[in-house]
Amino acid sequence: MLICLFIWAFCSYGCGILFRPLLAGIKFGGADLGFWFAQQGSIICFILLIFFYAWRMNKLDKQYGVDEE
């Protein structure tokens, strides 16, 4: 859970806000990488985190015998 929270914070606050000046020189998809993370990259990361979290929680539910069939 903490790893997911760290990835979320790094993508949203780190790449989109704090490190945006450092990423300004890197072009990705026609825009600089900092702008891309602020507009689209963070959303894609959030969606991937949701799928990972759901997969991991289902795996833990099966491990402890509380899964839904």
pLDDT at 2: 92
Amino acid at 27: K
The enclosing H or E element of 57 equals: helix 42-63
As a whole number, mean pLDDT of residues 31-60 equals 90
Query: Does residue 69 surpass a pLDDT of 80?
Result: no
- Specify the 3-state DSSP secondary structure of 19: coil
Predicted model pTM: 0.76
Region 33-40 average pLDDT: 83
